[in-house]
Structure 1
């Protein structure tokens, strides 16, 4: 576990935004916090020294990230990490690239509270600045759940107006009015501390003697979950003046108890499944990521004709693999590529889709989801080089995720009608069968004539006999006929 923990931190040393390092440190502290004083002592007195004993830059990187989590919330863990990091630095170990930025002062403000006229929810927003970068924390508070924090969002400050507009839009759709109040730093700190305290107690009550149900170290998209974001939030509160209860506000009173070994075992499992601390802040959900890179300009006529891209589109999670190899013009729009993928896999196209790229998410324009229109954006804009990759998801319920890899580029052949399919493997799953796991279950049902759902599934597929279901076949001519028909 220790080897994975430290070695995986090497990639963290070169991240551009120190906020990602703070998230990795917050993850570590969240693990220690979840077990109470015993686990905090175990992390500070045993695990941190074990990390230091590695004596490498990766070890110093992880210690610096942990030590960046300030305040009483981090307890002895951050202090122990700071001391261990200082010893490694004094011994000549090179500091991570972002260490100087983290040493700069953190400033804060403005602070805002949004609340509805029916007193069911509120949103606390604080903006923070360091080393020329600005981000916002948005804490959603459920007044019908003892005023507990329901969710925490970490956004680039430039994304905040869009997020606030979405809150107002959703409220109007529900017939609710949202009011806005500017807060001073002490009042903001009081509201947030009350919400975090109530949530902490509820999480402990939900999972007595086990992992608290609301611990949420990693969310469904492999970004930071509630727990590390709560640690980061408490660390941010430390730079504010002491909390002061606003006039008329009601305090929430809750009190919080898990063994050190339980937490260490969970940490080992999470390291093995998540890719290590270097991944804790590097794959944030769209609403929590920093602003994506600026989209490159489109090809100009003076640049000449676009090359043909050979791309391999693979359905994630499919075993045996299901894939299609397509030839498409480099200047094909993402929407047209979406249509080509539908044809190549036989999807009927009645569901939403999105392309995840290094330049943002593109699909049907949706401000709430953070999706920009894929109509004007071309493939070569978001994948300009061979070996570039992007993700395409069809049906945001079943989540048919596809990996798209640019294998090579060639000049266009006048004799070929593009898009064209030149290879593939296996039939694609039928639409609406429940995602990749539902498809695997469907195969099992159809392979067993005695299964109680066998006949119902045949009827749903419009088949008379299971022999007509041939998931191992791939019909190249049929795929190209569908491509020409689009």
Structure 2
């Protein structure tokens, strides 16, 4: 059995991304953790030395993957694996190809917490980077179930905006308001630790399912690693962050199971064989429930003459006091160009996903999974053909900056005017990436209170020397039009 276990791990030596190897190590550690302290001691004192005794590159690969985990609760196993790995490297056993990448420092951030207005569920998101590769951990938390972690998703960083967009879109369709807050690393760590600890208590109360051939908590035969190894990986990531800002709650003890260490190891060997090798998996979201949109009107033809100029008011939803811009744009401006215009008018930097919600469908970057059609060929007058027509524009599916767009009136173009142009507005727009409306309100509170512990940190984040430079109540028309001319 031990031979099969090590041989199955030999393929891990050549994987491109060390994250795959880390998941194998996390699965091994999760198996030992599930058996409680006695079985963890057996893993550390018997099975780790037995793997080391194989003396092969495959054995070193498995031990390196196990030793990469860094959670406090798993130290007996992970420290034994690290010590064994060091001895094997000293004896010139070849290291896996990803060992150098794994040795590079892990950086982290940004961190985000999304929650519904009833505080029934929340989602904690952390992005991590190593050796030029980014990945994200997304932890869903059930606040009706003691604030326990419900599921952990491991995503490529490129998949994260789509996953966040799907959460917001589903919430809007269900009439649920989602609030978003950017977290510091210590806050993120505290929230995740609380959720993992609550889940650990529940899992201990439920106990292991000894009748199941494969524990779904350890491995989903279709999706890959289950909750338990992903929790080990998550705890390992948390260990790289600054200490939690708030005191930790009571920790749950390990399972008092009847299984022997050999029972656990046999199941682990079966899991490795059944899984076809650990791999990261994406967030499998249900298809969105969208009513069929109206048919998009045809584009203006040359024979129809030049397009009129639209006067539109773009208001930021949820802003109190109101924040808005009044713009003059050609009626045949494309929605993509209108997107760029709104970015300039509000001072958004860009770089995030966006979507226009109209009576004729949703337009942004084409995405079949989200049901978004390309906004490149679609014009403003197609989706808002009449005065008083309204539609919505959302920028940054994490911060969720929602804007209401109202067509106030139309008029012939003035040959002396270069469009688009801003003719009015109120208040400065929030800075990009500050956590949505809720985060902006928190930012204002922090910057107006010099005694706040985060005051200086937020000033530095904004590139300001003094709080007097932060003027959320001002609107600079000339500055807005300068950005419009250079956009």
* Bigger Rg, which one: 2
1:172 Cα deviation (Å)?
1.4
Normalised TM-score (structure 1): 0.56
1:278 Cα deviation (Å)?
6.6
Other-structure match for 2:32:
32
In the alignment, the residues of structure 1 paired with residue 199 and residue 271 of structure 2 have an alpha-carbon distance, to the nearest angstrom, of 26
Alignment of 1:186-201 (within 5 A): 186-201=186-201
1:82 Cα deviation (Å)?
0.7
2:266 aligned with 1:265: no
In the alignment, the residues of structure 1 paired with residue 88 and residue 192 of structure 2 have an alpha-carbon distance, to the nearest angstrom, of 36
1:3 Cα deviation (Å)?
1.1
**1:8-36, CA deviations, whole angstroms, 9 ceiling, x for partnerless residues?**
11100000000001000000000111111
1:214 Cα deviation (Å)?
8.1
Residues 28 and 66 in structure 2, CA contact (< 8 A), matched pair in contact too: yes
Other-structure match for 2:252:
255
In the alignment, the residues of structure 1 paired with residue 221 and residue 136 of structure 2 have an alpha-carbon distance, to the nearest angstrom, of 21
Residues 254 and 91 (structure 1), Cα distance of their counterparts in 2 relative to 1, 3 Å cut: closer
Other-structure match for 1:287:
283
**1:273-327, CA deviations, whole angstroms, 9 ceiling, x for partnerless residues?**
542787122xx44439xxxxxxxxxxxxxxxxxxxxxxxxxxxxxxxxxxxxxxx
Residues 78 and 215 (structure 1), Cα distance of their counterparts in 2 relative to 1, 3 Å cut: farther
In the alignment, the residues of structure 2 paired with residue 286 and residue 237 of structure 1 have an alpha-carbon distance, to the nearest angstrom, of 21
1:272 Cα deviation (Å)?
2.8
In the alignment, the residues of structure 1 paired with residue 267 and residue 209 of structure 2 have an alpha-carbon distance, to the nearest angstrom, of 18
Other-structure match for 1:139:
139
Other-structure match for 1:46:
46
In the alignment, the residues of structure 2 paired with residue 286 and residue 238 of structure 1 have an alpha-carbon distance, to the nearest angstrom, of 24
Alignment of 1:141-160 (within 5 A): 141-160=141-160
SS of aligned partner of 2:80:
helix
2:369 aligned with 1:366: yes
Residues 64 and 42 (structure 1), Cα distance of their counterparts in 2 relative to 1, 3 Å cut: same
In the alignment, the residues of structure 2 paired with residue 264 and residue 130 of structure 1 have an alpha-carbon distance, to the nearest angstrom, of 35
In the alignment, the residues of structure 1 paired with residue 166 and residue 263 of structure 2 have an alpha-carbon distance, to the nearest angstrom, of 40
Moved more, 174-183 or 216-225: 216-225
Residues 32 and 215 (structure 1), Cα distance of their counterparts in 2 relative to 1, 3 Å cut: farther
Other-structure match for 1:183:
183
**1:384-436, CA deviations, whole angstroms, 9 ceiling, x for partnerless residues?**
xxxxxxxxxxxxxxxxxxxxxxxxxxxxxxxxxxxxxxxxxxxxxxxxxxxxx
1:111 Cα deviation (Å)?
0.4
SS of aligned partner of 1:176:
coil
SS of aligned partner of 1:28:
helix
SS of aligned partner of 1:53:
helix
Normalised TM-score (structure 2): 0.56
In the alignment, the residues of structure 2 paired with residue 208 and residue 58 of structure 1 have an alpha-carbon distance, to the nearest angstrom, of 30
In the alignment, the residues of structure 2 paired with residue 237 and residue 6 of structure 1 have an alpha-carbon distance, to the nearest angstrom, of 28
**1:174-208, CA deviations, whole angstroms, 9 ceiling, x for partnerless residues?**
21100000101000000000000000110111127
Unaligned 5+ segments in structure 2 are 285-366, 373-487
Query: How many correspondences in the alignment?
Result: 288
1:263 Cα deviation (Å)?
5.0
Residues 203 and 214 in structure 1, CA contact (< 8 A), matched pair in contact too: no
2:109 aligned with 1:109: yes
Residues 221 and 285 in structure 1, CA contact (< 8 A), matched pair in contact too: no
